[in-house]
Structure 1
Amino acid sequence: MAKPMELRGRTAVITGAASGIGRALALDLAGRGCHLALADRDAAGLDAVAAEASRRGVRASRHVVDLVDAAAIAALPEAVLAEHGGVDLVVNNAGVALGGTFEQVSERDFDWLFDINFFAVVRMTRAFLPALKRSDDARLVNVSSLYGFVAPPGQTAYAASKFAVRGFSQALRLELDGTTVGVTTVHPGGVATAIARNARAPAGASPEQLADSVKRFEKLLRLPPERAAAAIAEAVVRRKPRVIVGSDAKFVSLLERLLPVSYGRVLAAVAKRA
């Protein structure tokens, strides 16, 4: 069995760190003695998380970055290394949602979602991999979703992006085998974050339709972010290549393995009952 990864005294970069899973993970890692480089476009949210993390005795730098900006991502390692000197853990957590069927979603919105959910993961990996390789013990954590296992209707863009994160991470893990850098893919289920409220809506949807959609989706978001963060942190410590977070994600993973083609009928029946 591999020796656990020691997080005390290490430095972690976390995207989407101002709220939700990112915030909870930052505070969990701070409690384990891990220094933090917090990235998000929400400056006020970053200030609050950095202040709370600092009270736990670690160094926490804040980096206001819009992940659709490739140049800003490319410049981020220099800023982080200037503050911390090295990087041992990168968590690509930031993500967005987009409502509507494929025909309802514009090409611009589809590309916007992919820029954040997938291409930002690739760009962050490319930007920070040299620094991770300089560490004697490093890890890259990419957050996919239960929609990286199944692809329900109305989620063409989101599911495509999360399947892409899964495939990218699995191939990269094998490519980095034998180096000091491990890769963990995370598949969370319904975590109680603001992702549904912040989702971009398709053109032409009425306020009533949007409110109903958010209400129905938020019923599925039940797992506290702190529990999701603890599961991710433990997966890092135990060097797990994959972690499935939440009973709903575990059910969906099993269902897809049992019914790889016809799982949609079961999910539709479950959704109808719910």
Structure 2
Amino acid sequence: MAKSIVLITGCSSGFGMLSAARLAAAGHTVYATLRDLTKQERLLKETARRGTEVKILPLDVTDDASIAPVVARITEEHGKLDVLVNNAGYGLGGAFEDLLEAEFRAQMETNFFGVLKMIRNCLPLLRRSSAAKIINLSSIAGLSGIPGLSAYNASKFALEGFSEALSHELAVFGISVTLIEPGSYQTDVQKNSRLAQNFYNPDSPYLEYSKRLLASTQRRVARRDGNPEDIAGLIERVINTQKPAMRYIAGRDARVLRFLHRTLPFGAYSRFLNRVLSR
């Protein structure tokens, strides 16, 4: 299998870090980007552990001026890009009415419009590849609405629809678009997530409800058993597959939730979801 030129966003931890190290160890040329270079230590340790190296560059997906130098460097060094992995993102918790509009917009800017900026800037390079791939990290939250995550849901639902439409548009160039939709995995997603500014507002009518949801989420995070290395392996498999699927649901919990969401009447599904979230 020919080795690829790969650009990955959000490589300070989790799926991005593991994917960058794994792909580099497999012989691919990896440009691993981080918004904050002071957080590169874990990536450096992971690549050293695997006896490999990646090219670490600063990149803020919400800023075209930050993206351009990375694209320019890849253009200068290789003249093409084979794989773009859009992984950067974060979660925002809180009832919709407690969310400031600025918070909601910031969530969309990173998780959705950041992906658009990356793809728009990279498409000229991707078209120079003989079989380019765009891999977008979505979530089961892009397929099923979850209370307390309306902004995150909106960003991932938007990513799902956009990616599907884009896959049709880019097929003529031989560029595939793939969505990876993980469930719960042992990553820093909880630590990197944010709560609404008004989450603990004593005047919020959602205060007790939101606190129960948060406590339930923390309990489920503590016992989640999904290995994030599996997602890195899935990304590698997509890269090595000539014609990858449009969607890959990853994790037992994600597959169960998707099945129930598609088969149960909405009322029954809502009751099931609330029981799960109240544990």
Instruction: Indicate the TM-score class for this superposition, using the shorter chain for normalisation.
Output: 0.7 to 0.9
For the Cα contact (< 8 Å) 1:192–1:221, is it kept in 2?
Answer: yes
Q: Is residue 2:30 matched to residue 1:27?
A: no
Report if the CA contact (8 A) 2:34-2:40 is conserved: yes
- 1:142 counterpart (136, 143, 147): 136
| C-alpha distance in 1 between matches for 2:199 and 2:161 | 32
Amino acid at match of 1:67: V
Give, in angstroms, the shift of residue 190 of structure 1.
0.6
Match of 2:84 among 64, 83, 90: 90
What is the Cα deviation at residue 54 of structure 1? 7.0
Unaligned runs of 5+ in 2: 202-207
Number of the residue aligned with 2:240? 237
C-alpha contact (below 8 Å) 1:190/1:220 kept by paired residues: no
SS in 1 for 2:248: strand
- Give how far 1:52 is off: 4.7
TM-score (norm 2): 0.86
- Alpha-carbon distance change, 177 to 204 in structure 1, aligned in 2, over 3 angstroms: closer
Secondary structure (helix, strand or coil) at the match of 2:20 reads helix
Partners of 1:140 and 1:227 lie apart in 2 by: 19
Q: 1:232 to 1:143 in 2, by over 3 A?
A: same
Please say if residues 133 and 175 of structure 2, whose CA atoms lie closer than 8 Å, have aligned partners that are also in contact: yes
Residue 264 (structure 1) aligns with: 270
Confirm or deny that 1:215 pairs with 2:218. Answer: yes
Name the % identity. 36
Q: Measured at CA, do residues 213 and 75 of structure 1 come closer, stay the same or move farther in structure 2, by a change above 3 Å?
A: farther
Q: What is the CA deviation profile of residues 206-227 of structure 1, one whole-angstrom value per residue up to 9, with x for unaligned ones?
A: 4995984662352364312111
SS of residue paired to 1:142: strand
The answer as to whether partners of 2:80 and 2:125 remain within 8 angstroms in 1 is yes
For residue 10 of structure 2, the aligned residue among 5, 11, 16 is 16
For the 8 Å contact 1:21–1:93, the answer to whether it is kept is: yes
8 Å contact kept, 1:144–1:188: yes
Cα distance between partner residues in 1 of 2:179 and 2:16: 15
Of 228, 232, 246, 2:251 maps to 246
5+ residue gaps in structure 1? Answer: 1-5
The DSSP-based 3-state class of the residue aligned with 2:191 is coil
**Alignment counterpart, residue 190 of structure 1, candidates 184, 194, 197:** 184
Residue in structure 1 matched with residue 260 of structure 2 by the alignment? 255
Q: Does 2:121 match 1:116?
A: no
State the distance in 2 between where 1:84 and 1:47 align: 27
Deviation by residue 1:186-220 (Cα, 9 ceiling, x = unmatched):
10101111111222211243499598466235236
CA distance in 2, matches of 1:133, 1:86: 8
Q: Equivalent residue of 2:32, what SS?
A: strand
Residue number in structure 2 paired with 1:100:
94
- Cα RMSD of the aligned pairs, angstroms, is 2.5
